[in-house]
């Protein structure tokens, strides 16, 4: 299965798993330096990208890596590795910027970790490239077109973010990742004309 993954997708998967294992050995130093801290003395600009390689538990890592495998490999094969990486890291960056804005607006002082912003960008990219492709939810296993899957996830994240449900989850970072992916695709579309 992993041998069939596109190279950058496989590299991101290996990097996330390796960093997660390192977090189990040295959680303090790794999270202090590489998690995304809110604006203030703990923040470093590199954290706008490095936070996406850290995860807050095995389940967090598992679901993000399932998303990476499900959407990343096919998009990388379709776009090519360079374009895929630009798209993915643009989504990660805009997710970080959205989270920083929310954290400073609400006075939050906890760090953010996880590849979810990049994964949500990939969900949107997949839905835009292959809108009618069938996606099956894990729970419950309901098939639906990719465009509907992406819209439901965006609506759910907006609802959860606005209502404050599931506190401790960076819902607006997820939406920020989708916005970043959308902006990159619009840029590609306008520059190809």
Task: Decide: pTM greater than 0.85.
Answer: yes
Kindly state the average pLDDT of the residues 77-87: 97
Could you say which of 174, 190, 191, 192 is catalytic?
A: 174
Backbone angles phi, psi at 138, to 5 degrees: -70, -50
55 is catalytic: no
CA dist 152 to 92, 110, 123, 130, Å? 20, 28, 11, 16
CATH number of 2-191: 1.20.1540.10
Q: Please check the confidence at residue 128 and state whether its pLDDT lies above 90.
A: yes
Kindly state the average pLDDT of the residues 142-171: 88
Enumerate the domain spans of the chain. Answer: 2-191
Round to whole Å and give the CA distance between 27 and 10.
Answer: 24
The string of pLDDT tens digits covering residues 134-149 is 998 777 788 999 999 9
The string of pLDDT tens digits covering residues 47-69 is 999 999 999 999 999 999 999 99
Q: Are strands 134-136 and 143-145 parallel, antiparallel or unpaired?
A: antiparallel
Could you say which of 73, 91, 116, 171 is catalytic?
A: 116
């Amino acid at each position: 299965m992993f041998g069939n993954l596109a190279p950058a997708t496989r590299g991101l998967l290996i990097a996330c798993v390796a960093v997660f294992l390192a977090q189990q050995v040295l959680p303090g130093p790794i999270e202090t330096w590489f998690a995304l801290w809110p604006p203030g003395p703990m923040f470093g600009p590199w954290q706008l990208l490095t936070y996406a390689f850290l995860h807050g538990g095995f389940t967090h890592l598992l679901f993000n890596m399932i998303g990476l495998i499900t959407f990343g490999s096919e998009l990388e094969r379709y776009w090519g590795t360079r374009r895929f990486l630009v798209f993915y890291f643009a989504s990660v960056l805009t997710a970080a910027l959205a989270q920083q804005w929310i954290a400073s607006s609400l006075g939050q002082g906890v760090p953010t970790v996880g590849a979810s912003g990049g994964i949500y960008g990939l969900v949107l990219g997949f839905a835009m490239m292959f809108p009618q492709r069938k996606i099956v939810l894990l729970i419950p296993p309901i098939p639906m077109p990719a465009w509907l899957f992406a819209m439901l996830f965006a609506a759910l994240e907006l609802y959860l973010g606005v209502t404050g449900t599931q506190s401790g989850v960076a819902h607006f970072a997820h939406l920020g990742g989708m916005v970043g992916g959308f902006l990159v695709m619009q840029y590609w579309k306008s520059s190809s004309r």
